[in-house]
Amino acid sequence: NFERYAFISLAMSIFIELNYFFRSAADGPSIKTSRCYYFFHVVIIFVFSEFRKYFNRHKVGGRYFVDLPLGSSQYHIVLTITKEQAGAEIYINDNKELFKTLLGKKDVIEKELGFSMDWQLLPEKKASCIVATIPADYTDVEGSKEIFKWYCEKAVGIKKTFPKYAE
């Protein structure tokens, strides 16, 4: 266990240093923002062992979101980060019936998850979303560790719970 915590501590230190470096780089704001997004998601996906047990390696780009599979082409997890909030959501592609099926099991799902989510049918759109968010700022280096922990807990909880109820 000591090696695991030492590795996480080292990875967090690297993230913090890179975040400071890229935020102070001479590039324009969109380049700096993309780099911050990139390193934020790299730490989550490649460092946290609990996360790696449930999700294979994924390509990470300089976007504000990362898609993760849930075992079906009908829906997937999306992790988002902005200057205002971090989010973990289930994005349901063009299947309102699946959303309604899950919505009918909302209380059981949220009880198993241990947290509530915002259930968005989005009738004017093809997709539907089920979202959990917390206030967060990707440029807040000191608060990043709590956000990483939150992401891991939510994504792993969603991965363990939702596929059981989507059948």
Query: In angstroms, rounded to a whole number, what is the distance separating the alpha carbons of residues 130 and 89?
Result: 5
The identity of residue 163, as a single letter, is: P
**pLDDT (tens digit per residue) in 63-102:** 677 788 888 889 999 888 877 888 999 999 999 999 999 9
Could you give the angle at which helices 144-165 and 29-47 cross, rounded to 10 degrees?
A: 60
* pLDDT for position 96: 96
**pLDDT (tens digit per residue) in 150-165:** 888 898 899 999 999 9
**Torsion over CA: 149, 154, 157, 163 (sign):** negative
Q: Distances from the Cα of 5 to the Cαs of 43, 49, 121, in angstroms?
A: 14, 10, 40
Query: In angstroms, rounded to a whole number, what is the distance separating the alpha carbons of residues 111 and 158?
Result: 12
